[in-house]
Chain A
Amino acid sequence: MNLKEIRELIDILKDTDVSELELEKAGTRIKITKANHGGRPLILEQPAHVYAAHPAMPSQAQVQVAQEAAPAARAEDASASNIVVVNSPIVGTFYRSASPDAPSYVEVGDVVKKGQVICIIEAMKLMNEIEAEVNGKIVKVLAENAQPVEYGEPLFHIEPV
């Protein structure tokens, strides 16, 4: 990914209501977040320095460029391989554990059985247990604890075993 392409991405962000953009391409992953929703992202003052010398940007535009090894990047790409995406079947608040003091139902790397509870989605004061649909290994947790999720929102990546 070159500087021109990154600049173009920032422009897209500026001119639309999109507040966050994450893009993965050929082993490079970039995430751009607007400083405040509705505000304009600040243009980097010295972009040339930033990308060549500093992999992590301290600037307010919060541009993160991560050069990742190709095999690792591919493993996280759900559309390749046989990753099963667990999507939220309902609207509610996502919780990783049964209660604030309890341990998470699952962590990355855990092997789960079909039917095993992997998280809770709370809707209208009712706790809905979400179960794994396949036997497999949790390779990624996509939703954040105590955050709202919508219907169809991806929660976990499971690699079937």
Chain B
Amino acid sequence: MFKKILIANRGEIALRIIRACRELGIKSVSVHSTIDADSLHVRFADESICIGPADPAGSYRNIPSILSAAEITDCEAIHPGYGFLAENANFAEMCETAGIKFIGPTPDNIRLMGDKARAKETMIKAGVPVVPGSKGAVTSEDEILLLAQKIGYPVIIKASAGGGGRGMRVVHSAGSLINSFLMCQSEAVSSFGCPDVYIEKYINEPRHVEIQVMADEHGNVVHLGERDCSIQRRHQKLIEESPSPALTPKIRKKMGEVAVAAAKSVNYMNAGTIEFILAGDQFYFMEMNTRIQVEHPVTEMVTGVDLVKEQIKAASGMPLGFRQEDINITGHSIECRINAEDPEKFTPCPGKITSFNTPGGPGVRVDTAAYGGYTVPPNYDSMIAKLIVYGKDRDEALSRMSRSLEEFIVEGIKTTIPLHQKILKDPIFRSGKFHTGYLEKFLGM
């Protein structure tokens, strides 16, 4: 087992990793930018090193600085958290070269899954259902007509160089296909500088359901159930829950098996998440995230597994402490991401927190690095806390979340707590019958 780990991150996730280290008897080393000198992750680590200025490029994403910090503190391993360098294959490789264990997947795992086109091809080979579509760019009108017929309408035409919801057109019938195709191509050139477009089956009102997997270095791969992350605004998750109100035991079992097969097919190591689009009882591979995720606590609450400890243990060469048959999803957990933002305009609101009262009582967990008197800096992600609740069923989790949100007092800055309170009251959210377009509709976007 490692004696000392460096945490290459900040905020609540750095604190999360420090907690796991503490409980495992491992010394922790924090790194921080100049502006984060008063952070909790600096205070609670056994040692801390200032690695650069506020700008993440000079500090939290500064590979030489972080590796140097690990060297001078004699750290045996680095946990990258999420964001920053967590999915930087070069960083993972440089850790290896420096003789420091990267707590996460291999550089090859990261590289493969980071290339969306290659990832999709690899999944197809592994027998994972993917959204039916063209292999690469579509270049002729004849080709697109044939493909659309094969896939079945509705279809969506997407710019290869596009993303984030831009450069896309949905086509419902053959009559408008060619026109849309030509318009998409010319828009692609003017917006992204590249005329390449491809075609996919259009999944209407999809849900975003992801499966958590965990692999050790002995070939064991286990899934820990799903998280429903359909409550999103501009592709950013706001609320996550486990289990998904949309899954039957049959679909859950199938998705879990597919996720494990996918992970095994790429010799995946450590923690990862496979994101699927769910439509009815059909699910399709969307992408794989090669890191521990923000919303990992909801899985921890319903399975009783400490995912960060498992990451550390697996990276140290230990076999997983559980088999697939040991994993059961019990009860229901919901997480709300609390951001330092205007709850209506979503503009960031950094500044000094003058009062900070976190909720408590049974089934309540708050993962945060904020405190009364803390100044939220403008340089980083606006998430300041994660409020996670657990109940024996979804109804109890909902009432526990509503109750906890009432108790969560943050003064001095604006937060999205009022928004979460509104969503928790909404009948559609409460019914569990929502899809990824729900929140934007609720917000009148």
Contacts and interface: CB of A to CB of B under 8 A. Distances in A.
A154 B234 CA distance: 44
A12 B59 CA distance: 31
Contacts of A48: none
B50 A152 contact: yes
Given A91-B51, A151-B50, A124 B71 contact: yes
Contact of B65 (A93, A148, A151, A153): A151
Chain B CB within 10 Å — which of A91, A148, A150, A152 has the most? A91
B69 interface: yes
B50 A123 contact: no
Contacts of B71: 92, 123-124
Given A90-B64, A91-B65, A151 B34 contact: yes
Interface residues of B, number: 16
Nearest to A92: B68
A91 B34 contact: no
A17 to B, nearest CB: 8
B6 to A, nearest CB: 11
Contacts of B50: 91, 150-153
A153 B52 CA distance: 11
Contact of B68 (A123, A152, A153): A123
B67 interface: yes
A123 B71 CA distance: 8
A148 B72 CA distance: 6
Nearest to A37: B46
A123 B34 contact: no
Interface string B352-377: 00000000000000000000000000
A55 B59 CA distance: 43
Interface in B225-262: none
A151 B64 contact: no
Contacts of B69: 91, 150
A104 to B, nearest CB: 21
Interface string B42-80: 000000011111000001000011011101110000000
B65 A90 contact: yes
B428 interface: no
Contact of A91 (B49, B53, B98): B49
A148 B59 CA distance: 17
Contacts of B65: 90-91, 123, 151
Nearest to B48: A150
A151 B53 CA distance: 8
Interface in B16-52: 34, 49-52
Contacts of B98: 124
A100 B73 CA distance: 21
Interface in A136-159: 148, 150-153
Contacts of A93: 72
Nearest to A94: B72
A148 B98 CA distance: 18
Contact of A92 (B34, B52, B59, B72): B72
Nearest to A17: B43
Contacts of A90: 64-65, 68
A38 to B, nearest CB: 10
A150 B67 contact: no
Chain A CB within 10 Å — which of B59, B67, B72, B73 has the most? B72
A153 B71 CA distance: 17
Interface string A116-148: 000000011000000000000000000000001
Nearest to B67: A124
B67 A152 contact: no
Contacts of A151: 34, 49-53, 59, 65
Interface string A52-64: 0000000000000
Contacts of B67: 123-124
Contacts of B51: 91, 150-151
A126 to B, nearest CB: 8
Contact of B64 (A124, A150, A152): A124
Given A123-B67, A151-B52, 6 more contacts: A91-B50, A91-B51, A91-B69, A92-B72, A151-B49, A152-B50
Query: Which 3 pairs across A and B sit closest by C-beta, in order of nearness?
Result: A148-B72, A123-B68, A91-B68
23 contacts: A90-B65, A90-B68, A91-B49, A91-B50, A91-B68, A92-B68, A92-B71, A92-B72, A93-B72, A123-B64, A123-B67, A123-B71, A124-B67, A124-B98, A148-B73, A150-B49, A150-B50, A150-B51, A151-B34, A151-B51, A151-B53, A152-B50, A153-B50
